[in-house]
Amino acid sequence: MTDSGRLADVESGREGDPFSVLGPHELGTGTVVRAFVPGARAVTVVDEDGGTLAQAEAIGDAGLFEALIVAMPPRYRLRIEDATGTRTVDDPYRFGPLLGELDAWLLAEGKHLDLHRVLGAHPDTVDGVRGTRFAVWAPNARRVSVVGDWNAWDGRVHPMRLRREVGVWELFVPGVEPGARYKYELLGARGELLPLRADPVAFRSEVRPGNASVVAPPSSHAWQDAAWLEARGAKQRRDAPIQIYEVHLGSWRRVPEQGDRFLTYRELAEQLIPYVVELGFTHIELLPITEHPFDLSWGYQTTGWFAPTSRFGSADDFRAFVDAAHAAGIAVILDWVPGHFPTDAHALGNFDGTPLYEHADPREGYHREWGTYVFNLARNEVANFLIASALYWLREFHIDGLRVDAVASLLYRDYSRKEGEWIPNAYGGRENLEAVAFLQRLNATLYGLVPGIATFAEESTAWPGVTAPTDVGGLGFGYKWNMGWMHDTLRFLERDPLFRGHHLNEISFGLIYAFSENFVLPLSHDEVVHGKRSLLGRMPGGDREQFANVRLLYAHMWAHPGKKLLFAGGEFAQRGEWRAQASLDWHVVHGAHRGVQTLVKNVNRIARSTPALYERDCEPAGFEWISYDDVRNGVAAYIRWDAERDGHLICVVNFSGATRTEYRIGVPRKTTYREVLNTDAAAYGGSDVGNGGSVTASDHPSHGRPFSVTLTLPALSAIWLAP
**Catalytic residue list:** 405, 458
- β-sheet bridge partners, residue 64: 36, 59
Instruction: Name residue 401's amino acid.
Output: G
Instruction: Name residue 82's amino acid.
Output: D
Instruction: Name residue 417's amino acid.
Output: R
* Numbers of helices and strands, H then E, in the chain: 16, 38
The DSSP 8-state label assigned to residue 284 in this structure reads E
The DSSP 8-state label assigned to residue 205 in this structure reads B
Q: Determine the Cα–Cα distance for residues 192 and 175; give it in Å rounded to an integer.
A: 30
Burial label, 563 (beta-carbon count in 10 A; 0-12, 13-18, 19+): buried
Phi, psi of 321 (to 5 degrees): -60, -50
Instruction: Name residue 337's amino acid.
Output: V
Report in angstroms the alpha-carbon separations of 160 from 41, 176, 499, 545, 673: 24, 15, 70, 67, 75
Q: Determine the Cα–Cα distance for residues 649 and 721; give it in Å rounded to an integer.
A: 6
Pair 390, 357: CB distance under 8 Å: no
Q: Determine the Cα–Cα distance for residues 617 and 514; give it in Å rounded to an integer.
A: 9
Q: Determine the Cα–Cα distance for residues 343 and 353; give it in Å rounded to an integer.
A: 14
Phi, psi of 68 (to 5 degrees): -105, 125
Residue 431, classed as helix, strand or coil, is strand
- C-alpha 581, offset from chain centre: 19
Instruction: Name residue 85's amino acid.
Output: G
Q: Determine the Cα–Cα distance for residues 80 and 44; give it in Å rounded to an integer.
A: 7
Q: Determine the Cα–Cα distance for residues 634 and 415; give it in Å rounded to an integer.
A: 38
Pair 262, 250: CB distance under 8 Å: yes
The DSSP 8-state label assigned to residue 500 in this structure reads G
Cis (ω within 30 of 0) for the bond into 288? Answer: no
Residues 6+ apart with CB under 8 A from 155: 13, 145, 147, 185
The DSSP 8-state label assigned to residue 461 in this structure reads S
Pair 555, 679: CB distance under 8 Å: yes
The DSSP 8-state label assigned to residue 507 in this structure reads H
β pairing state of 331-336 and 401-404:
parallel
Side-chain half-sphere exposure of 58, counting CA atoms within 13 A: 12
Side-chain half-sphere exposure of 384, counting CA atoms within 13 A: 16
Q: Determine the Cα–Cα distance for residues 676 and 723; give it in Å rounded to an integer.
A: 10
The DSSP 8-state label assigned to residue 337 in this structure reads -
- β-sheet bridge partners, residue 181: 214
Maximum alpha-carbon separation in the chain? 111
Side-chain half-sphere exposure of 218, counting CA atoms within 13 A: 9
Closest CA to 150 of 128, 174, 167, 129: 174
- β-sheet bridge partners, residue 33: 24, 67
Q: Determine the Cα–Cα distance for residues 569 and 549; give it in Å rounded to an integer.
A: 16
How many residues appear in the chain?
Answer: 723
